[in-house]
Amino acid sequence: MRKISTETAPAVIGPYAQAVEANGFLFCSGQLAVNPASGMIEMAGAAEQTMQVLLNLRAVLEAAGSGLDKVVKTTVFLTDMGDFPAMNKVYAEMFGSHTPARSTVQVTRLPKCAKVEIEAIAVI
């Protein structure tokens, strides 16, 4: 196993890795809409937060030698399922014709009062 860490994505806020590579797969921890430079969530809307989340996720994937086009499964966490259309539009734009398997669930609360969190499994 190899632990993945990059400064181009937000630093972890607990005892976990940004991602772990095991047997050719990359298991990415959930990403929030945190600006890596400031350490803060600076976007209010779900669409803007989704864009930052996916930029952060892409940074982790690329640090491991992977990319959004190699994602096989995502899990999306939303604090309001009413934000699904806004999240889904940005998600579709970022992934393009690549459509990994996905689950989307509504949760009561996310760290840093985020609206969106996305975790992923990818191949290297």
Which domains does the chain carry? 2-123 (3.30.1330.40)
- Confidence class for position 27, pLDDT limits 50, 70, 90: very high
* Alpha helices, DSSP H, located in the chain: 46-63, 84-95
Task: Share the mean pLDDT of the chain.
Answer: 97
Q: Which of 118, 117, 112, 114 is nearest to 44 (CA)?
A: 114
Q: How many CB atoms lie within 10 A of CB 83?
A: 19
Q: Is the pLDDT of residue 91 over 90?
A: yes
Q: What are the pLDDT digits (tens) for 35-65? A: 999 999 998 999 999 999 999 999 999 999 9
CA Rg value for the chain: 13
| pLDDT tens per residue, range 58-75 | 999 999 999 999 999 999
pLDDT computed for residue 13 by the predictor:
84
Confidence of residue 23 (pLDDT cuts 50, 70, 90): very high
Mean pLDDT throughout 25-30? 98
pLDDT reported for residue 36: 95
**How many whole angstroms separate alpha carbon 24 and alpha carbon 40?**
32
